[in-house]
Copies of this chain bind each other. A is one copy, B any other.
Amino acid sequence: MTQALSELIEFLRIPSVSADPAHNQDTKRAAAWLEAKLQALGFSVEVAPTANHPIVYAEKHVGEAAPTVLIYGHYDVQPPDPLELWETPPFEPTVRDGKLYARGSSDDKGQIFAHIAAVEALGSALPVNVKFVIEGEEEVGFGNLVPWLKENVERLRADVLVVSDSSMLAPGQPAITYGLRGIVLMEVRLQGASRDLHSGTYGGGAPNPIHAAAWMIAKLKGEDGTIRIPGFYDRVRPISPDERALYAQLPFDEGAFAAAIGATAMPGEEGYGLLERVWARPTLDVNGIWGGYQGEGSKTVIPAKAGFKLSMRLVPDQDPSVIHALTRAYLEAILPLGYRMDIVPLGEGKPVITPLDSPAMQAAAVALERAWGKKAVFNRMGGSVPIVADFQELLGIPTVLMGFGLDDDNLHSPNEKFDLINFEKAIESSRNFLLEFAKQAG
């Protein structure tokens, strides 16, 4: 086991789940772990407290003339439930068949740590100034990072932003992501009567918020995959013929993609290919629903309350605030008679597209090809890294999104993993990039 791998395992043992306040001490521990590691590498480090989870900021200067690379990542992880589906416990990292299984291994501890390991590998040969911003709220969107970025714009100045929180196109096929979807998150809470009711005594005469939730969800997105919120598609940038052609050339097998997730069909918006749907079209998913009796057997109850969590993925040029407002207005319009509703915002982020022809992008292409022995492809990503849009707005620098995860890494699912070869090549790619960017920008 390499030194880098054994240190990553140590980092992964910390259950830094940002969504669950019970883990607040663990997010602090993860931040302190990074602080110690980066200080040992000669960085000056600040662990900036926030209302929730601290931000780790670190910088190492090699010279005024050298270009500056800003690297962003996050040390927080998704909740690990359902726990019973993990083959080995989420916070006891385990290597099986060349893969490292642990919550956060791919998203994003493994990927951000690869950059730290690359700086360590370069040692005194580091040719660029390096700044790290590693936050603890990426999975929850509490909104504490952006105000901190705004207050710290001056010291964050850099020539390029590098983010590794995404996937390669396929094993062995490096990718540079030029588009990210934006996101709007909200929770919808519904109430009928003031208390749970007997479904015999009241059935046929009382409001049932589970039905209200079902009617509303069915009106949000139809079985044809179309989102029915008026105005939702108004500002969606059409997919250009060039981009369609680019997608068609990618080594992507729709059947293999479905088989990998055990799906018998991949339903979605009509008239678009699967890659188009997950990269370049907006979507809407209910991520959680609850109401009434969920235990064994039956309980003849009409519940007083039900609710659901909603996420929408946006594409350029949709604006999250506009989509939030349109969604709220629509939910109010379709709320059936006899129900009260609360809508709780849970965060939002803008979609991003970055130009392919900057020196930073070209340096990344060289770095990846050298590490993997294969030309990198340019792709988009269905996921959201909302902070990228904020960095771009605040700093006005190009962003290089080079991801080292794989689509079967089980992000946000049980048995999350990171292939060891990807970890190793990520370190190599980052090292190559720092060297190559020094040349191209120097």
Contact = CB atoms under 8 A, between A and B. Distances in A.
10 contacts: A85-B195, A193-B262, A199-B311, A203-B278, A210-B285, A210-B308, A285-B302, A298-B309, A300-B384, A300-B412
A299 B217 contact: no
Given A287-B300, A288-B291, A313 B217 contact: no
B296 A21 contact: yes
A414 B195 contact: yes
A299 B205 contact: no
A299 B78 contact: yes
A88 to B, nearest CB: 16
B267 A336 contact: yes
A215 B223 contact: yes
Interface string A313-350: 10000000000000000000000111110000011000
A140 B297 CA distance: 6
A338 B292 CA distance: 26
A282 B261 CA distance: 41
A269 B413 CA distance: 42
A431 interface: no
Interface string A214-243: 110110010101000000000000000000
B204 A337 contact: no
A204 B18 CA distance: 26
Given A19-B299, A285-B211, A197 B292 contact: no
B311 A300 contact: yes
A306 B287 contact: no
Contact of A382 (B78, B200, B215, B338): B200
A211 B309 CA distance: 12
Contact of A303 (B193, B223, B288, B301): B288
Given A199-B311, A268-B205, A213 B215 contact: no
A265 B297 contact: no
A143 to B, nearest CB: 12
Interface string A112-146: 00000000000000000000000000011100000
A281 interface: yes
Contact of A193 (B18, B261, B278): B261
Contact of A266 (B185, B207, B221): B207
A337 B215 CA distance: 19
A370 interface: no
A306 B289 contact: yes
Contacts of A291: 286, 288-289
A10 interface: no
A294 interface: yes
- Name the prevailing secondary structure of the A interface residues: loop
Given A204-B313, A269-B204, A411-B198, A296 B214 contact: no
Assign chain A's interface to a size class.
35 or more
Interface string A250-288: 000000010001111111110000100110011111111
Contacts of A199: 285, 287, 311, 313, 412
Contacts of A261: 193-195, 197, 202, 206
A383 interface: yes
A207 B267 contact: yes
A287 B278 contact: no
B19 A204 contact: no
A290 interface: yes
A381 interface: yes
A201 interface: yes
Nearest to A274: B205
Contacts of A85: 195
Contacts of A81: 293, 295
A206 B286 CA distance: 12
Contacts of A185: 298, 300
